[in-house]
Amino acid sequence: MISNKIKVLTNMAMLVAISLVLVAAINFPLIPAAPYLKYDPADIPILIGTFLFGTYAGLLLTAFTVLLQGLLISTDGGPIGIVMHFAATGTFVVTAGMIFHHVHIKRTEQIALFCGSIAMTIVMVLFNLLLTPLFLGAPLEKIIELLLPVIIPFNLLKAGINAVLTGIIYKSVGKFLQRS
């Protein structure tokens, strides 16, 4: 039993490390009008960990990854960036993880990833309305103007890309991690 816990912790640490490498190596703007909003595939290993080890483990992966990323790699976002990233990825992880582990129907994985993407987008609309005026010093009206042309499309695209890529690689990576 202890060796199984060590195996899970080792795999989780590896997934955090992969997330950090991915965000450092691959990040680019998705919407030219908002070059400060960058896509990165760091959520993919976190979602794989969520599916393999459970929703709580996915939330732990999120916390460690977001904190390390915010302190070591993407330092320009500061504490508000860390909070917003945790809200985004945490919402995706909790929604997808709960559906994946508690709903047992055909295509559960796809449904979980789709619902996680939508939930993340909704939560990020709310967090952008609450925190972006503080972070950017912009008036709330300006943030509201950015919802349809920038904030909603960015979050749908980022979550959608990560959901599709997770769906493509989850089973093969999951089998590898379970065997190792």
pLDDT digits (tens, 9 = 90+) for 10-45: 999 999 999 999 999 999 999 998 898 999 999 999
DSSP for the chain? -HHHHHHHHHHHHHHHHHHHHHHHH--EESSTT-TTSEE--THHHHHHHHHHH-HHHHHHHHHHHHHHHHHHT-GGGHHHHHHHHHHHHHHHHHHHHHHHHH--STTHHHHHHHHHHHHHHHHHHHHHHHHHHHHH---HHHHHHHIIIIIHHHHHHHHHHHHHHHHHHHHHHHHHHHH-
pLDDT tens string 54-101: 999 999 999 999 999 999 998 888 898 999 999 999 999 999 999 999
Read off the pLDDT of residues 112-167 as tens digits, 9 standing for 90 and up: 999 999 999 999 999 999 998 987 788 999 999 999 999 999 999 999 999 999 99
Domains of the chain and CATH, by start:
41-174 (1.10.1760.20)
Structure pTM? 0.93
Per-residue pLDDT, 88: 98
pLDDT for 1: 65
Looking at the predicted structure, is the pLDDT value of residue 52 above 90? yes
pLDDT for the residue numbered 33? 87
